[in-house]
């Protein structure tokens, strides 16, 4: 085919339009699915947790992260300061005062909350983060990740961490709910499995909510009448029972509306109305550059230059 200027222009504009349309479809396709009720969850009773931190060790062990011997986790000095999950520790336990019984402080485990309508999934422009349709776990594909770290900005719980000290193959790091154990071996997350006092209960999220409500009804003096994670930001797979408000133990107060319901209309609008134009301008710029170079070469030949 004779690739003259007119044919080349038709081909490149058509290709650019298809690519832009594809980008829009990818963004729309990333919209999380609603909670099916059968997705997995964990109910954490903070009035039962004893702060042994074996869950921290189990998490590092199952994810092949560097860790000290499990005996070293008996060190209570770590509770002198508040800690956050990091690229080297996907879950941490913090200590809080118990006004009802000062000799028995509360302990709260933090990790990825596995939001039902996850902001990190919605923010990921390449689909590196996605919800597993069967378990509801937010899973991560490092091969797709481009390191934009939009997920870190989007997460309302400030959980995803980045391997800044890994110069060659940095990844976004967070708990994936032991996704492989759940899907392949019908197992439980490693932290749940190792807990010596069964402070964590694994099961279907809908059933865990019923268990939590029953506990609140049975022991109204023990628990505040609120299941943290049932409705916050559309709900999370991790659910908390507590003796005092979770907002007094490191958790933020949120409304019920998921963050993607605020951000996705904007995202879709940008891709729908902005990207095609940008793509077209980029293509036209490329075409102009190519033909300018060809004209320069032809001009040199006509002038007798080699």
pLDDT by position in tens, the chain (length 306):
444 444 444 444 444 433 444 444 444 444 545 556 789 999 999 999 999 999 999 999 999 999 999 999 999 999 999 999 999 999 999 999 999 899 999 999 999 999 999 999 999 999 999 999 888 999 999 999 999 999 999 999 999 999 999 999 999 999 999 988 887 766 899 999 999 999 999 999 999 999 999 999 999 999 999 999 999 999 999 999 999 999 999 999 999 999 999 877 766 666 555 555 555 555 545 555 555 555 565 555 555 544
**DSSP state for residue 84 in the 8-state scheme:** -
| CB neighbourhood size of 223 (10 A) | 20
| CB neighbourhood size of 295 (10 A) | 10
Of residues 208, 224, 213, 195, the one with CA closest to residue 109: 195
pTM given for the model: 0.78
CA distances from 217 to 45, 198, 225, 265 (A): 15, 20, 9, 40
Of residues 151, 155, 111, the one with CA closest to residue 128: 151
């Amino acid at each position: 085919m004779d690739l003259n200027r007119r044919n080349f222009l038709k081909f490149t504009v058509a290709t650019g339009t298809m690519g832009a349309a594809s980008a829009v479809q990818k963004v729309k396709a990333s919209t999380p699915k609603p909670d099916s009720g059968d997705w997995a969850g964990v109910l954490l009773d903070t009035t039962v947790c004893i702060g042994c931190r074996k869950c921290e060790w189990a998490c590092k062990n199952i994810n092949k992260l560097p860790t000290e011997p499990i005996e070293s986790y008996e060190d209570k000095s770590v509770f002198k300061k508040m800690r956050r999950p990091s690229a080297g520790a996907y879950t941490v336990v913090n200590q809080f005062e118990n006004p009802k019984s000062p000799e028995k402080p509360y302990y709260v485990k933090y990790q990825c909350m596995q939001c039902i309508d996850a902001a990190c999934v919605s923010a990921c422009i390449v689909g590196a983060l996605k919800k597993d349709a069967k378990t509801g776990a937010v899973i991560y594909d490092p091969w797709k990740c481009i390191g934009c770290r939009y997920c870190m900005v989007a997460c309302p719980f400030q959980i995803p961490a980045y391997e800044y000290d890994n110069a060659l193959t940095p990844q976004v790091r967070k708990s994936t709910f032991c996704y492989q154990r759940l899907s392949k071996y019908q197992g439980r997350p490693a932290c749940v499995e190792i807990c010596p006092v069964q402070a964590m209960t694994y099961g279907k999220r809908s059933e865990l909510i019923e268990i939590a409500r029953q506990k609140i009804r049975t022991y109204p003096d023990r628990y505040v009448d609120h299941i943290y994670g049932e409705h916050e930001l559309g709900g999370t797979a991790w659910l908390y029972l507590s003796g005092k408000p979770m907002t007094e133990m490191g958790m933020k107060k949120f409304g019920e509306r998921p963050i993607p319901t605020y951000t996705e209309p904007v995202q879709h609008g940008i891709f729908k109305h902005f990207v095609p134009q940008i793509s077209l301008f980029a293509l036209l710029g490329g075409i102009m550059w190519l033909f300018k170079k060809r004209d320069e070469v032809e001009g040199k030949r006509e002038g007798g230059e080699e």
